[in-house]
Amino acid sequence: MSSAPLAVTMGEPAGIGTEITLKAWALRKVSGPPFFLIDSVQRLLHAASALKIDIPLKAVGTAAEALQAFPTALPVFEIAEAQSLKFSLGRPNPATSKAVIASIDMAVKLVRDKHAAGIITNPIQKAALQAAGFAYPGHTEYLGHLAGELASVMMLVVERPNPPLRVVPVTVHTPISNVATSLTSSAITHCGRVTAKALMTDFGIEQPRLAVSGLNPHAGEDGKIGDEEMRIIAPAIAQLRAEGFNVQGPAPADTLFHAEARAKYDAVLCMYHDQALVPLKTLDFAGGVNVTLGLPFVRTSPDHGTALDIAGRGVADPTSFMAALDLAARFTARRS
């Protein structure tokens, strides 16, 4: 395992990110992978008081200090933008966006400088960021920009069902009315290549098996219910097979996600966001992890949003956050 701790970003200050991070430290300080939070002790004390969560905090400036502090206090790597930050739990404010982005930027710098083993990002409120001028649809695209890997790929993982499920949406934050015109063979082949490599490198699967869903009901039924399968998806599958990948499809999406079907592949490429996320969240709503593939560093995230409706009530479930920590630790161990 890497000798460096994992870096955790602050996420949306008005959401549940702070709560699940504090709870995760309390639950995993003995047996879990060590991590530090990029934030401000002052802000965290304010949030913890509002949440009635009492845990020790320790300001740190190096990976060594974070590792030393972790068993007895949550290490906090201070950033100036988070100090004296004005926020209200449950009510996002675009004025906090500078601190949110600074936390992500610092995490990337620390991991690239080898002061952090990998990154776990707390959920962000995209509308608040974009209202402040943030030009990216979400974490995946922004991290790809910071890393110089503009074509990074999103994977969602749940491991508690048997067999597990790993899904990759080829089109991500695309309106459903635009999916068919946005879908391309090159996008599918890119996702297939990046996914297969990640399955080998990070998941330890020597000969990964990929399934590819259709776009239309019944995978188009030989063109009777849409021809995207024949025009776009099948040529991409043929190209991936020609490159030596084990790829099956296009398959009807309504038969791809039950246990018997999941046993036949290691990951499935889905054509749009909800085609991938609905079955995953149905199987294990609390345990999903968002992984960015194709980056030169490890990044995972809990697979849920900021949950503004419960922020400040003290009832947020840290299960997904802890699963993201564990998966990131496994990835960094394999890479090192």
Would you state the structure tokens that stand for residue 334, as one six-digit string?
């394999």
Do 161-281 and 6-150+302-335 have the same topology in CATH?
yes
* Paired tokens of 207: 């000969």
Name the packing angle between helices 319-335 and 17-28 (round to 10°): 70
Distance from chain centroid for Cα 151: 15
3-state secondary structure at position 42: helix
Rounded Cα distance between 115 and 62, Å, is 7
User: What span, in angstroms and rounded, lies between the C-alpha atoms of 174 and 317?
Assistant: 28
Separation between Cα atoms, residue 185 and residue 226, nearest integer Å: 16
Torsion sign across C-alpha atoms 63, 64, 70, 74: negative
C-alpha separations of 278 from 81, 169, 272, 282, 329 in Å: 36, 11, 11, 6, 26
Domain 161-281 has CATH 3.40.50.720: no
What's the rounded Cα separation, in Å, for the pair 136 and 117? 25
Which residues face 77 on adjacent strands? 38, 60
Per-residue pLDDT of the chain (336 residues; tens, 9 = 90+): 457 999 999 999 989 999 999 999 998 877 789 999 999 999 999 889 888 999 999 999 999 999 999 999 999 999 999 888 888 887 888 888 999 999 999 999 999 999 999 999 999 988 888 888 888 878 888 888 888 866 789 999 999 889 999 999 999 989 999 999 999 999 999 999 999 999 999 999 999 999 999 999 999 999 999 999 999 999 999 999 999 999 999 999 999 999 999 999 999 999 999 999 999 999 998 899 999 999 999 999 998 888 899 988 989 999 999 999 999 999 999 988
Q: Would the pTM count as exceeding 0.75?
A: yes
Whole-number Cα distances in Å, 10 to 58, 115, 271, 285 = 15, 17, 31, 22
- Per the CB < 8 A criterion, the answer to whether 220 and 227 are in contact is yes
Domain boundaries, given as residue ranges, for the chain: 6-150+302-335, 161-281
6-150+302-335 topology per CATH: Isopropylmalate Dehydrogenase (3.40.718)
